[in-house]
A = this chain, B = another copy of it.
Amino acid sequence: MSKPEPLFNRLALIGAGLIGSSIARAARAQGAARTIVATARSPKTRRRVAELGLADQVVESNAAAVEGADLVIVSIPVGECGTVAKEIGAHLAAGAVVSDVGSVKGAIVRDMAPYLPKKVHFIPAHPVAGTEYSGPDAGFAELFVNRWCILTPPVDADAKMVEKLAAFWRLLGANVELMAPDHHDLVLAITSHLPHLIAYTIVGTADELQAVTRSEVLKFSAGGFRDFTRIAASDPTMWRDVFLANKDAVLEMLGRFNEDVSALTKAIRKGDGDALFEHFERTRAIRKGIVDIGQDSPTPDFGRPHPDLPHEPLPKPYASEKN
């Protein structure tokens, strides 16, 4: 079976961090675009993209990147998308699909749409995938496989172009879902933004304690804390922008979360074991649902490697212990 024709002739990637560089790798591996051109704000990142051979061309400006491209994907922090739209607006080719990867969609539409000419198809997107690492070296071609990519096309979008962008994401391994921007922002507020905010909070709380040292927090983190630190290690600029851009939905979810914290706190204070048990039993079922639909690994401890048991030499059984 011969290789199919690429879906797009020229893919322009603005930004080459974890997500942008993963798109570059996956698009090339899958032959999704005939030519890939990439740019990034910092000379250092552009140099690294060239060294890694992630794109056919690396250019210095956003305007140069989008010239002649029939697919433009902006993969930068949400707060910069408006500025970039302004820079590229006049340089976009007629009929191009312009998209992004932002974790917030309402603000993206508000910030980018005014600068994009009518002759292009603006179809915002959000691939719900990532790791705790950032930058062009952190990306990998398989990042989107079996993850969801949410498209939030405007109501008057060209259905063929929406489908063409959906096909691109499916080719990169993602499942595609369409949603209104506002609903996207509500769904992500609970499945992603609130968990990040809470993880950032609790890691900060632990770090400020006087009675428990940082060394103790690190050593005994396998008791649960370390699971919060991965998400609290995500890119600070990206996340600052997410919270500023999705303020209303995040504050709404925070309000509900606070009510639930209060209810469990009260159960602890009153010693109401039945209320605690009932709650803990219920949440277990949700974990099972996530594993069942393939959104997490069923292997214990997230498939974290467990080192082999040490065999001999046997530690000296009666040596004195430092106390």
Contacts and interface: CB of A to CB of B under 8 A. Distances in A.
A171 B316 CA distance: 10
Contacts of A264: 197, 200-201
Given A4-B314, A186-B212, A289 B320 contact: no
Interface size class of A (residues with CB under 8 A): 35 or more
Interface stretch (A48-56, A59-67, A92-100, A239-247): A239-247
B220 A310 contact: no
Q: Main secondary structure on chain A at its contact with chain B?
A: helix
A319 to B, nearest CB: 6
Contacts of A163: 317-321
Interface stretch (A80-88, A111-119, A299-307): A299-307
B145 A309 contact: yes
A290 to B, nearest CB: 5
Contacts of A309: 26, 29-30, 141-142, 145, 172-173
Contacts of A218: 286, 289-290, 293, 295
A146 to B, nearest CB: 6
Interface string A251-282: 10110111011001100110101001101111
A229 to B, nearest CB: 4
A57 interface: no
Contact of A170 (B133, B177, B315): B315
A321 B159 contact: yes
B191 A220 contact: yes
A127 B70 CA distance: 57
A304 to B, nearest CB: 5
Contacts of A284: 232-233, 236
A188 interface: yes
Which 3 interchain pairs have the tightest Cβ spacing?
A: A192-B223, A131-B300, A233-B287
Interface of A: 1, 3-4, 7, 26, 29-30, 79, 103, 128-133, 138, 140-143, 145-148, 150, 159-160, 162-164, 166-167, 170-173, 176-178, 183, 186-188, 190-209, 211-212, 214, 216-234, 236-237, 239-241, 243-244, 247, 250-251, 253-254, 256-258, 260-261, 264-265, 268-269, 271, 273, 276-277, 279-284, 286-290, 293, 295-297, 300-321, 323
11 contacts: A164-B318, A167-B319, A188-B223, A190-B225, A191-B225, A218-B289, A218-B290, A221-B295, A237-B277, A244-B268, A297-B304
